[in-house]
Amino acid sequence: MKPPNLIILVLFYSRHGATRQLAELIAQGVESVPGCDARLRTVPAVSTVAEATAPEVPAHGAPYVELEDLQQCAGLALGSPTRFGNMAAAMKYFWDGTASDWLAGSLAGKPACVFTSTGSLHGGQEATLLSMMIPLFHHGMLVMGLPYTHPELMTTTTGGSPYGATHWSGIDGDKAISEDEKRLALALGRRLAGNAVKLAES
């Protein structure tokens, strides 16, 4: 009997769609690896009004993440738009609530990668990627980036980083994902899923 496919969680937050587009490309890369399925999930926005609550189910797009998604995944791709060189508050709020999984070691030993988008070309992409790695290290994850065997890292004039996939969306969010950004996002998804398969087989 064939074993079930590995679940690779692609968890993202996106306000205007750019980070979601990267998430979808990474998911395509994941699903190009035999034996792997991508699970797209998001987090609700954080409001400055304490009484405000998000609907239990998003009006459209990916469902909200649940802690069970962390427990069930064999790998994780984590994405957020840049907020002053850091992940968005909505994503940080989610990770602040994962202490039970940290104590249980739910993510320990699983591979992970990160991705982001920014409105300006030098808007803190790599700082954001590094900030998203920190909770993953605390959870014991095996964090990976993109090696320079991908020539796009040397030729890109838009996004792209050895720390993870990135996109320069423009100040109005009107820049389409470039071919270099697309290839790097797909490659990151493939690399994450491929390593999840190797770890599962070891």
Tens of pLDDT, residue by residue over 69-110, are 999 999 999 999 999 999 999 999 999 999 999 999 999 999
Dihedral angle of Cα 81, 189, 198, 154, to the nearest 10 degrees: -90
Question: Percent of the chain scored above 70 by pLDDT?
Answer: 96
- 123: exposed, middle or buried (Cβ count in 10 Å: 0-12, 13-18, 19+): buried
pLDDT interval class at 173 (50, 70, 90): confident
CA 200 – CA 72 distance, rounded (Å): 13
Report the pLDDT value the prediction gives residue 53, as an integer from 0 to 100: 65
CA 91 – CA 81 distance, rounded (Å): 10
Nearest alpha carbon to residue 70 among 116, 22, 32, 107: 107
Q: Chain-centre distance of CA 143, in angstroms?
A: 12
CA 40 – CA 60 distance, rounded (Å): 13
pTM: 0.94
- 137: exposed, middle or buried (Cβ count in 10 Å: 0-12, 13-18, 19+): exposed
